Amino acid sequence: MKKKALLIAAALTGLCSALPAAAQFQKPEDAVKYRKAAFTVMASHFGRIGAMAQGRIPFDGAAAAANAEVVADMSKLPYAGFVEGTSGTEKGQPKPNVWSERPKFDAAAKKMQDEVAKLAAAAKTNNLDQLKAAFGSAANSCKACHDDFRNP
C-alpha cells in the first residue's frame, strides 16, 4: 500500500511538471496581466540603473547592485505568461511570430536573461564603466526582442 501511494505520488509529480505553463493561469487575460506586471517591475528597476549609466543621477554602486539583482530575478518570470492566443495588433502587444517562431523568441528571451545576469555581476564591481557597458548590452537585448516580436 505504501509502495502504491509512492507510485501514485511519483506519477502525479511527473504529470504536474509536464503541464504547460498555461495551466498556471485561469484565463489568457491573467497570463497577459502577469507578464506585463513582471516587465513593469523589471523596467522600473532597469531604468534606475539606466539613470546612473547615463549620468542623470549620481552613481551609487550599492543601489545599482540591488536594482540589478531585482532585474535579474524578474527576468525569469514573464515568459510563462506568453500563452497561445494572446498576440495582438495594438502598440506593445506581442506579434503572432512569438508563437510561430517560438525557438527564436525563446533564444531572444534567454539572451536578455543572460545579459541581465551579467549586468548584476557588473553592478557588484562598483565600477561605473563596467556598469555602463553591461547596461548597454542588456538594453540592446531588450530592444532586439522588441524589434522582432512587439508591435511598435
CB nearer to ligand ASC: pick between 122 and 142: 142
CB nearer to ligand ASC: pick between 22 and 66: 66
CB nearer to ligand ASC: pick between 22 and 136: 136
- Note the residues at the interface with ligand ASC (CB under 6 A): 43, 46-47, 50, 139, 142-143
- Scored b (16 or more CB within 10 A) or e, 84-93 reads eebbeeeeee
- Scored b (16 or more CB within 10 A) or e, 9-24 reads eeeeeeeeeeeeeeee
CB nearer to ligand ASC: pick between 47 and 96: 47
- Rounded to 5 degrees, φ, ψ at 95 are -80, 160
Supply the minimum distance, in Å, between the C-beta of residue 72 and ligand ASC.
15
Supply the minimum distance, in Å, between the C-beta of residue 89 and ligand ASC.
20
CB nearer to ligand ASC: pick between 25 and 141: 141
Supply the minimum distance, in Å, between the C-beta of residue 43 and ligand ASC.
3
Supply the minimum distance, in Å, between the C-beta of residue 142 and ligand ASC.
4
Supply the minimum distance, in Å, between the C-beta of residue 101 and ligand ASC.
20
- Whether 126 and 110 have beta carbons less than 8 Å apart is answered as no
Q: Based on C-alpha coordinates, what's the Rg of the chain?
A: 19
Alpha helix segments (H runs only) across 27-127: 28-53, 61-74, 97-100, 102-123
